[in-house]
């Protein structure tokens, strides 16, 4: 067989220089999340399908329409993970982490899979940065997570991202709200899209999350969940707001913001960007409290709260900065002849061992073509090695952005570059 094989639709290759933006975001996450005490977990990309059916919810878009589900050779139904919270909770339960410590803070980064209609910021393989905190039901834990995201966005110098906040109540107060919501939506049934008419029966809260404009118009005048909250949920929400105020974090209460997953109770939040680069995919991340999930998945009764951010969307916001995060070589070494190439090869290896970023052209060729190559790499300095340099043990560091050459002893190149 011959011919070109293409990548899978909706699944992207990440190439330089864009990968440097990703590395910058990932590194910023690692440094920042460590300050908050969050440690990394890595779970498999494939899970038992039942995990997502029982957590994210059968009637959600994610499980109902978007999951990559297949049977393995042993006849098991497996799915590529569409999100990271359920796998983390599964691991938390499976390893009995609750018995080892009362409060657990985890983060993860990795690919997620959803069979969605593709557009800018919406792909079939995408990547999430997520954080989960188990063991504390206090508002301080919710706000710590939001603070961590706010500090991350600040560290990435991302502006104009607003925090939307809501409380979804709990099993005490949500049923009354849901009853009113259904009654209201039934009265406006004809104005809803076909999907939402089905959601109305199976999972009415999902209607609030529909992206269809006509549905959104109906939703805008739907009952306000805030007026239904029971006393403990009200108190929790007030405390979340008070602590956000304490930290000077701005937010907007949006009583019609629910999230696309079934497991949330009480706090739900989303970070929404107004940047045109994202088009309609403006939510860079979201999260909330899921106090029932761990128990529901067969674990102990442990409250939890989590957040997930879309790496592609963060990187789209930073795309114009690609050049800024690429790390060009400190030095490019060019060889005038075969003898210089031989000795220079050893010098290059030594300089790399000393911690410098050094490149050369393994094809050799004319000095002119090697210097052209040096230009392309955006190296800070170039060093030409020839007969004279090898005989005298001295060379010249040529600043590639212009300026006078700097005389240097060949065995002091590393030291000379480090001080510059």
Q: Contact residues for ligand ATP (CB under 6 A)?
A: 83, 114, 116, 121-123, 126, 128, 259-260, 281, 283-286, 308-310, 312-313
To ligand ATP, the closest distance from the beta carbon of 87 in angstroms equals: 13
* 281 or 417: CB nearest ligand ATP: 281
Structure tokens at 40: 């990394």
Q: How many CA atoms lie within 13 A of 149 on its CB side?
A: 33
* 264 or 332: CB nearest ligand ATP: 264
To ligand ATP, the closest distance from the beta carbon of 118 in angstroms equals: 8
Q: Which of 392, 323, 368, 391 is closest to 382 using CA atoms?
A: 368
**Cα–Cα distance between 209 and 215 in angstroms, integer?**
9
Q: Which of 13, 12, 17 is closest to 319 using CA atoms?
A: 17
To ligand ATP, the closest distance from the beta carbon of 14 in angstroms equals: 13
Contact 86, 52 (CB under 8 A): yes
To ligand ATP, the closest distance from the beta carbon of 309 in angstroms equals: 6
* 60 or 104: CB nearest ligand ATP: 60
Residue 304 in 3-state DSSP?
A: strand
To ligand ATP, the closest distance from the beta carbon of 308 in angstroms equals: 4
C-alpha distances in Å from residue 178, one per residue of 73, 185, 206, 288: 42, 10, 11, 19
Contact 360, 330 (CB under 8 A): no
CA angle centred on 364, ends 359 and 367, rounded to 5°? 90
To ligand ATP, the closest distance from the beta carbon of 329 in angstroms equals: 33
CA angle centred on 209, ends 207 and 214, rounded to 5°? 65
To ligand ATP, the closest distance from the beta carbon of 202 in angstroms equals: 18
The length of the chain is 420
* 24 or 313: CB nearest ligand ATP: 313
**φ and ψ at 259, to 5 degrees?**
-115, 165
Contact 295, 263 (CB under 8 A): no
Structure tokens at 80: 């590529």
**Cα–Cα distance between 254 and 239 in angstroms, integer?**
17
To ligand ATP, the closest distance from the beta carbon of 341 in angstroms equals: 47
Cα torsion 377, 383, 385, 386 to 10°: value is 110
To ligand ATP, the closest distance from the beta carbon of 286 in angstroms equals: 4
* 57 or 344: CB nearest ligand ATP: 57
* 85 or 370: CB nearest ligand ATP: 85
The packing angle between helices 174-187 and 194-202, to 10°, is: 150
* 232 or 260: CB nearest ligand ATP: 260
* 113 or 237: CB nearest ligand ATP: 113
Closest residue to ligand ATP, based on beta-carbon distance: 310
What residues contact 361, with CB distance under 8 A and at least 6 apart?
Answer: 334, 369, 370, 373
* 116 or 321: CB nearest ligand ATP: 116
Contact 192, 215 (CB under 8 A): yes
* 83 or 144: CB nearest ligand ATP: 83
* 188 or 259: CB nearest ligand ATP: 259
To ligand ATP, the closest distance from the beta carbon of 260 in angstroms equals: 4
To ligand ATP, the closest distance from the beta carbon of 128 in angstroms equals: 5
**Cα–Cα distance between 106 and 306 in angstroms, integer?**
9
Structure tokens at 169: 């109540």
**Cα–Cα distance between 68 and 175 in angstroms, integer?**
32
């Amino acid at each position: 067989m011959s011919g070109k094989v293409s990548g899978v639709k909706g699944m992207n290759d990440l190439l330089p220089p864009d990968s440097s933006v990703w590395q910058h975001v990932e590194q910023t996450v690692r440094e920042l999340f460590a300050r908050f005490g969050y440690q990394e977990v890595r779970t498999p990309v494939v899970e038992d399908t039942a995990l997502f059916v029982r957590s994210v919810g059968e009637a959600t878009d994610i499980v109902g329409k978007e999951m990559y589900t297949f049977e393995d050779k042993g006849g098991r139904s497996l799915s590529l993970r569409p999100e990271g919270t359920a796998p983390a909770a599964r691991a938390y339960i499976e390893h009995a982490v609750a018995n080892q410590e009362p409060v657990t803070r985890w983060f993860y980064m990795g690919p997620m899979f959803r069979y969605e209609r593709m557009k800018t910021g919406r792909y079939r393989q995408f990547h999430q940065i997520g954080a989960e905190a188990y063991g504390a039901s206090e508002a301080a834990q919710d706000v710590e997570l939001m603070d961590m995201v706010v500090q991350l966005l600040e560290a990435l110098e991302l502006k104009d991202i607003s925090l939307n906040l809501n409380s979804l109540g709990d099993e005490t107060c949500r049923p009354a709200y849901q009853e009113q919501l259904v009654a209201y939506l039934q009265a406006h049934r004809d104005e809803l899209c076909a999907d939402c008419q089905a959601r109305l029966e199976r999972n009415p809260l999902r209607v609030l999350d529909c992206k269809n404009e006509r549905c959104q118009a109906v939703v805008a005048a739907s009952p306000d969940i805030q007026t239904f909250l029971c006393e403990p949920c009200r108190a929790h929400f007030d405390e979340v707001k008070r602590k956000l105020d304490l930290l000077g974090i701005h937010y907007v209460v949006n009583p019609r913001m629910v999230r696309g997953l079934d497991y949330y109770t009480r706090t739900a939040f989303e970070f929404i960007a107004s940047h045109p680069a994202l088009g309609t995919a403006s939510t860079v991340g979201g999260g909330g409290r899921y106090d029932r999930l761990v128990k529901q998945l067969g674990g102990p009764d442990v409250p939890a709260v989590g957040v997930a951010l879309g790496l592609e969307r963060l990187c789209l916001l930073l795309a114009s900065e690609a050049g800024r995060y690429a790390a060009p070589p400190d030095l490019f070494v060019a060889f005038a002849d075969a003898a210089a190439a031989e000795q220079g090869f050893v010098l290059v290896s030594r300089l790399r061992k000393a911690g410098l970023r050094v490149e050369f052209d393994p094809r050799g060729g004319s000095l002119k073509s090697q210097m052209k190559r040096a230009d392309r790499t955006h190296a800070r300095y170039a060093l030409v090695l020839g007969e004279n340099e090898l005989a005298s043990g001295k060379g010249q560091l040529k600043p590639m952005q212009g300026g006078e050459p700097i005389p240097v002893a060949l065995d002091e190149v590393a030291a000379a570059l480090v001080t510059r």
